[in-house]
Structure 1
Amino acid sequence: MNLESPKVTVEKNPQEVFDFLSDVKNFERLMPENISKFEVLGDDKFLFALKGMPEIILKKTETVAPHKIVLGAAGGKLDFSLTGDIQESGTNQSAVKLTFEGDFNPMMAMMIKGPISKFIETLVSNMPKAI
């Protein structure tokens, strides 16, 4: 299952956006309002939970400065990744898009598609204010 967020424009250069996303504690500022738990577990790993959903641990698995950062599921039963693509879109401007990729059975994919789409849209839409 592949889901993409809309692109947003951030009034920062790609390196500044990349640096912000590289620091996992900054993801707390991007989370939706219905977050029930957020905990930094290390320099490259954090745990979060949304109300009514299980806890999820994300770990930085790949970085290509200043254009790409990949977070993958660390532990748990679900295998997925969340990729941030950062492109220069003008002087001191970046276009940012998030892509969610996971391998799920059809029933699970049907159940999580809506909540995951809304989640990644919230993350990306909070970026212009947070960075």
Structure 2
Amino acid sequence: MKLESQRISVNKSPEDVFDFLADIKNFESLMPENISKFEVLSEDTFLFALKGMPEIILKKKEALPPNKIILGAAGGKLDFSLIANILKTNDASSEVQLEFSGDFNPMMAMMIKGPISKFIETLATSIPKSI
């Protein structure tokens, strides 16, 4: 299953956006209002939980400055990745698009598609307000 957010315009350079997203502590400011837990576990790993959902641990798997950051599931039963693609529009602005991909059985995919789509849209639209 692959889901993508809208492309979001950010009035910051790709380097600034990359630096912000590369610091996993900053993901707390991007989380939806219904977050029930956020905890930094190490410099590249954090845990979060939304109300009514299980805890999810994400780990920074790869960083390709200034265009891409890949976070992946760290442990747990589900294997998925969250990729931030940063595109330069000019020296002082950029666009960010988040991409979620995971290998799920059809029933699980049907159940999580809506909540995950809403979640990545919330993360993406929070980026310009948080930087």
- On whether the aligned pair clears a TM of 0.5, the verdict is yes
Corresponding residue for residue 2 of structure 2? 2
Matches within 5 A, 1:9-88: 9-88=9-88
Runs ≥4 residues deviating over 4 A: none
Give me the whole-angstrom Cα distance separating, in 2, the residues matched to 1:28 and 1:94.
Answer: 21
Offset of residue 20 of structure 1: 0.3
Corresponding residue for residue 103 of structure 1? 103
Corresponding residue for residue 94 of structure 1? 94
Percent identical residues:
69
Please say if 1:112 is aligned against 2:112.
Answer: yes
Q: Amino acid of the residue matched to residue 37 of structure 1? A: K
Aligned length: 131
Q: Deviations over 1:15-42 (max 9, x none)?
A: 0000000000000000000000000000
Corresponding residue for residue 130 of structure 2? 130
TM-score, normalised via structure 1 length: 0.99
TM-score, normalised via structure 2 length: 0.99
Give me the whole-angstrom Cα distance separating, in 2, the residues matched to 1:30 and 1:94.
Answer: 17
SS in structure 2 opposite 1:95?
Answer: strand
Unpaired stretches in structure 1, ≥5 consecutive residues: none
Over aligned residue pairs, what C-alpha RMSD do you find?
Answer: 0.4
Offset of residue 93 of structure 1: 0.2
